[in-house]
Structure 1
């Protein structure tokens, strides 16, 4: 499996995350609204450095493929995302750890990014299942996940502990390989990515 792919379409470029990306990501990452309902908090450069180092270590272990998101329309760094919880033996992975500059949320960038990732997951990586999850309180994220054709599977109660000690209920979603052709046509074809 290639842990350093470059994924792209007309709207987005997803390139492998590197330690050198910290400076470019910092202005986006330091916006508190991004971490409001997250179990992770990035409040200063050291937090982002730790976040990136963890992502890179996960990649080295074969557990993740982290990306920097480049918005081609604005030609700038827009955030980060990754394939996580990769299980090659079970042919599944999670799309997660996604954070996008708030002014670009709702602009179509996330949909273009998810299309590139889902296409790669099912058509290149040969996965049978892609999982997505979010905080039960994150209505915007839940709606975005549903808008790409994912099916809600359930809510895991008190599934995670936030950085402030709060207990998080996590909503799980998935898309299956067998569902991808129909979702690709019904949801994504109209965008011409």
Structure 2
């Protein structure tokens, strides 16, 4: 199976559905009320349609594979996530461009979604590395990535220029196949407590 193949993934908590225009209404509600911190990109509710179109264009060129995150307890789509920077010949991928509604934060939703994405990458797509990248100043994201069991590889200094002309230092984390069994057990144990 290829990392770019659109596929639905499901466990007890969430279903990751290939992103589609019909997710827009739920996602606009999910984005409403999110604090748009300067160091992260979350679409405004009225920009969800264009965000979906942009992510679908990246799917078409093979560099990304986006999903809507649907909570099974409510039936509502509560955010987005993607495989990014897909490097199929080298079986490498990044998990990112993830955002969740306030109501889904600090619940099992993010852990359950990451469990599905990591399991699919390592067990179905034979990935040799799964990366996570975040802004140096996004401490919440850095802590969440570390809790998943990813190891920090380093910091790409002055990696990008932000919308306001600020320079972004990008923190890179990864999980390797030999680490996946322990990471999987950790994620499963966290989900069993939720």
Q: Quick check: TM above 0.5? A: yes
Of 25-34 and 161-170, deviating more is: 25-34
In 2, Cα distance between equivalents of 1:115 and 1:124: 13
Show the 5 A alignment for 1:104-143.
104-143=104-143
How far did 1:34 drift? Answer: 4.4
Work out the CA distance in 2 between the residues paired with 1:30 and 1:118.
Answer: 28
C-alpha distance in structure 2 between counterparts of 1:9 and 1:177, whole Å: 21
- In structure 2, the partner of 1:176 is 176
Root mean square deviation of aligned Cα: 1.8
Between Structure 1 and Structure 2, how many residues are aligned? 191
By how many angstroms is 1:144 displaced? 0.6
Q: Which residue of 1 aligns with 2:7?
A: 5
2:22 corresponds to: 20
Separation in structure 1 between the aligned mates of residue 36 and residue 7 of structure 2, nearest angstrom: 26
Question: Where does structure 1 lack aligned partners over 5 or more consecutive residues?
Answer: none
Corresponding position of 1:49: 49
**Secondary structure of the equivalent of 1:172?**
strand
Task: Provide closer, same or farther for how the CA distance between residues 28 and 164 of structure 1 changes in structure 2, counting only shifts above 3 A.
Answer: farther
- Where do 5+ consecutive residues of structure 2 fail to align? none
Whether contact under 8 Å (1:32, 1:42) holds in the other structure is no
CA contact (8 A) 1:69 1:80 kept: yes
